[in-house]
Amino acid sequence: MKEISFIRQNIAKWKDVEKVVDQADELDPAHLAAVYTDITSDLSFSQSHYPASRITVYLNNLASSLHNRIYKNKKEHKSRIITYWTKEIPRVMRDSQKELLYSFLIFAISMFIGSLSTLNDDTFVRLIMGDSYVDMTLNNIRNGVPMAVYNGNSELSMFLGITLNNIRVALVCFAMGILSGFGTGYIIFSNGIMLGAFQTFFYQQGLLGESMLAIWIHGTLEISAIIVSGAAGLAMGNSWLFPGTYSRKASFTRGAKRGLKIVIGTLPIFIVAGFLESFITRHTQLPDSLRLGIIMLSLTFVLYYYLYLPNTLRYELSESKN
Residue 66 identity: L
Buried b or exposed e, range 42-59, using 16+ CB within 10 angstroms: bbbbbeebbeeeebbeeb
Q: Does pLDDT of 314 surpass 90?
A: no
| Residue 322 neighbours by CB distance under 10 Å | 5
Q: Does pLDDT of 212 surpass 80?
A: yes
Lowest mean pLDDT among 46-55, 84-93, 210-219, 246-255: 246-255
Say how many CA atoms lie within 13 Å of 206 toward its Cβ: 3
Per-residue confidence (pLDDT) for residue 321, from 0 to 100? 45
* 168 phi/psi in degrees, rounded to 5: -60, -45
Buried b or exposed e, range 124-138, using 16+ CB within 10 angstroms: bbbebbeeeebeebe
Q: Does pLDDT of 53 surpass 80?
A: yes
| Dist CA 177 CA 309 (whole Å) | 25
For range 107-126, the mean pLDDT = 96
| Confidence band for 40, pLDDT divided at 50, 70 and 90 | confident
First to last CA, the chain: 28
For range 79-106, the mean pLDDT = 88
CA 250 to chain centre: 22
**CB of 131 closer than 8 Å to CB of 125:** no
Quick one: 230 exposed, middle or buried, by C-beta within 10 A (0-12, 13-18, 19+)? buried
pLDDT tens by residue, 131-178: 999 999 999 999 999 998 888 778 999 999 999 999 999 999 999 998
Radius of gyration of the chain (CA): 24
For range 68-96, the mean pLDDT = 76
Domain boundaries, the chain: 3-75, 93-321
Q: Does pLDDT of 27 surpass 70?
A: yes
**CB of 294 closer than 8 Å to CB of 276:** yes
| Confidence band for 315, pLDDT divided at 50, 70 and 90 | low
Per-residue confidence (pLDDT) for residue 316, from 0 to 100? 57
pTM for this model (two decimals): 0.76
Per-residue confidence (pLDDT) for residue 222, from 0 to 100? 97
**CB of 227 closer than 8 Å to CB of 107:** yes
